[in-house]
Amino acid sequence: MESQVSQTDENNKGTVTIGYVQWASAEASTHIVKKVLEGMDYSVKAPILQTGAMYQSASTGEIDSFVCSWLPDTDRNYWEKYGDSLVELNDNYTSAQIGIVVPEYVTIDSLAEMKDFKEKFDGRIVGIDPGAAEMIVVEEDVMPNYGLDDWDLTESSGPAMTAELGRLVEEGKWVAVTGWKPHWKWSKWNLKFLEDPDLTMGSGEYIKTMGRPGIKEDLPEVAAFLQNYTISTEQLGEVMLAIKNGASPDDAAEEFVNSHPDLIESWTSNIAD
């Protein structure tokens, strides 16, 4: 397959296209990758795509890579359809998780304990959009399994959920929300997942980096960097929180890259030019 890189001048190695879906974590991660590749003398395009279109575009070579493949569960249908045409480069984030999140000062640690503290939690879990997959799992599996049938699952949105979380943390009150990681809230407040002993919400996911067919042969330096690229909750949260606080994705990623030279070196050293 023809390389996506077209030589433009002697100081530019060409253009690389990294697609992403418009989630906070995907936006932050993609722009970090974008800034590092720009530092390696590539021009980088970062189009926003729907999940299915992102997988399809990589499988046909319209984009070179994406760093936001959620497996084994969230993107399962797209992986089953397009996986044979994609190149798995690495697991860039290994702590992806959904669950019920509470402040650290809440003195219980398990969903199995929640039913005994209905009054402290005001008998509710603060949710997000009613059609979200996590909301369906919480309502149909989590709450019945742990004896929370008579609690309220409040429908709202991601921003409304975090606003309510922030308000109640400020007041030092107990609050439970439908949460996930990675997300900027982990950088802003001291939070924890309640343990899910019956695994009603799954056992966790990986965020993987995928490449188009032939990426290792056509773009060996880019592929080698992407194979080295891994990021932690704290690092990703730093960029997500900066964006949440008003920085552009490019500016937030640039500040991060400039502030973490050793990390960038670990991603880019010993790769073939």
| Residue 41, domain member (yes or no) | yes
**Do 89 and 209 fall within a single domain?**
yes
CA–CA distance from 248 to each of 108, 157, 245 (Å)? Answer: 38, 22, 9
CA end-to-end span of the chain, whole Å? 20
Q: Is 122 left (phi over 0), alpha (psi -120 to 50) or beta?
A: left
- Give pLDDT, residue 227: 97
Structure-block tokens of residue 17: 């296209």
Q: What whole-number distance in Å separates Cα of residue 17 and Cα of residue 108?
A: 46
CATH (domain of 48): 3.40.190.10
Same domain, 127 and 186: yes
Q: How far apart are CA 62 and CA 203, in angstroms?
A: 33
> Exposed, middle or buried, 269 (CB in 10 Å: 0-12/13-18/19+)?
exposed
CATH of the domain at 140: 3.40.190.100
> What is the number of structural domains in the chain?
2
What pLDDT does 262 receive?
97
Are both 74 and 112 inside the same structural domain? no
Is 211 strand, coil or helix?
strand
Cβ-contact 23, 158 below 8 angstroms: no
pLDDT at 272: 57
**pLDDT tens, position by position, for the chain (273 residues)?**
333 433 445 578 999 999 998 888 999 999 999 999 999 999 999 999 988 999 999 999 999 999 999 888 778 889 999 999 999 999 999 988 889 999 999 999 999 999 999 999 999 999 988 877 788 889 999 999 999 999 999 999 888 999 999 999 999 999 999 998 888 898 899 999 999 999 998 878 899 999 999 999 999 999 999 999 999 988 998 999 999 999 999 999 999 999 999 999 999 988 855
Same domain, 101 and 184: yes
What is the value of pTM for the model shown?
0.77
Residue 59 has a pLDDT of 98
Farthest CA pair distance, the chain: 68
- Examine the domain organization and report whether 126 and 83 are in the same domain: no
Residues 210 and 80 in one domain: yes
Residue 200 lies in a domain: no
Q: Write down which residue in 193, 218, 252 finishes a domain.
A: 193
Run of H or E including 167: helix 158-170
Output the pLDDT for position 202: 81
| Region for 246 from its dihedrals, namely left if φ exceeds 0, alpha if ψ lies in -120 to 50, beta otherwise | left
Q: What pLDDT sits at residue 96?
A: 86
Q: Is 172 left (phi over 0), alpha (psi -120 to 50) or beta?
A: left
SS3 content of the chain, % helix, strand, coil (to 5): 40, 20, 35
Residue 33 lies in a domain: yes
Q: Give pLDDT, residue 253.
A: 98
Do residues 109 and 177 share a domain?
A: yes
Looking at residue 8, its pLDDT comes to 43
DSSP reduced 3-state for 217: helix
Domain that holds residue 23: 15-94+205-268
Q: Are residues 120 and 135 in the same domain?
A: yes
Amino acid at 68: C
Q: Is residue 199 part of a domain?
A: no
In a domain, 251, yes or no: yes
Residues 157 and 112 in one domain: yes
6 domain residue, yes or no: no
The CB density around residue 239, as the number of other CB atoms within 10 Å, is 29
**Residues 121 and 167 occupy one common structural domain:** yes
Query: How high is the pLDDT of residue 164?
Result: 97
